Homo-oligomer: A and B are copies of this chain.
């Protein structure tokens, strides 16, 4: 399907994509670049990429497909670095968790070539990062959100859809703003809350003793708190407006429940818990339903 993948960012997301594309026979050659030369070298040694590029620009040279797998805050600088070799025929995708800011960067930098850029958000990940955790199954069975804009080339969108589906993904298209609002609620806020909860505990004198007693509920609830700090700093700042809005809604709900606990209003409290319990018990991950 593709001759050459230019991979910019050979970490967990990028490395897993390269492995999945190769295994599916969708690409012949992967040319990779990472900001850290040791990462690029490790990616080649592991067989994740075939050729090490000395710069982002050279990773793009000769590619018919390019994946930007860098922190969202690095998108603009990365696009600037490669823009002189971007062509109309080249499919460029990203894997960022926010879409409005990435698209704005694309418009500013790519200008007339913005049609080549198909913004993507794969709903997958691990709480560990780095090419050593790259996994050809990371994307299989997962949901991929595409947020094309009016100027995105429909032929490129179609190529992206076909590609992700051949990797076993469930592809969904959305407007960028709707995407950012939804993920503020179901991903960025849970991360912020998990970070705050851990920090609130460790800041207490008895925090270490408390943590030593925690059980399986705590383990699952806080799993996402072990995520990469630079990546999540960038996501939270990039989507700050939607995230702060969601955090406010959450705090208001929490304070309402606290008031019921304080006043001993067991009936109202039970109703709210039951509502949450029912909603969660009936929830299913979309991509798992469709597989």
Residues of A within 8 A of B (CB): 123-125, 127, 142-143, 145, 172, 178, 181-183, 185-187, 189-204, 206-207, 209-230, 232-234, 236-237, 240, 243-244, 246-247, 249-255, 257-258, 261-262, 264, 266, 269-277, 279-281, 283, 285-287
Contacts and interface: CB of A to CB of B under 8 A. Distances in A.
5 contacts: A142-B215, A215-B287, A229-B271, A244-B262, A247-B258
A250 B207 CA distance: 13
A251 B214 CA distance: 20
B191 A217 contact: yes
A114 to B, nearest CB: 25
Closest 9 CB pairs of A and B: A123-B215, A229-B274, A186-B214, A229-B273, A195-B276, A200-B253, A196-B254, A198-B276, A225-B280
A215 B251 contact: no
A269 B201 contact: no
Which secondary structure characterizes the binding site on chain A? helix
B203 A253 contact: yes
Contacts of A261: 192, 236-237, 240, 243-244
Contact of A251 (B223, B230, B254, B274): B254
B279 A202 contact: yes
| Integer count of this chain's copies in the complex | 2
Given A193-B193, A224-B221, A225-B280, A186 B202 contact: no
Contacts of A203: 249, 253
Contact of A232 (B211, B232, B273, B287): B273
Q: Which of A230, A233, A246 has the most CB of B within 10 A?
A: A233
A202 B275 contact: yes
A171 to B, nearest CB: 13
A206 B181 contact: yes
B285 A214 contact: yes
A235 B255 CA distance: 18
Contacts of A192: 254, 257-258, 261
A257 to B, nearest CB: 6
Contact of A214 (B172, B187, B221, B234): B187
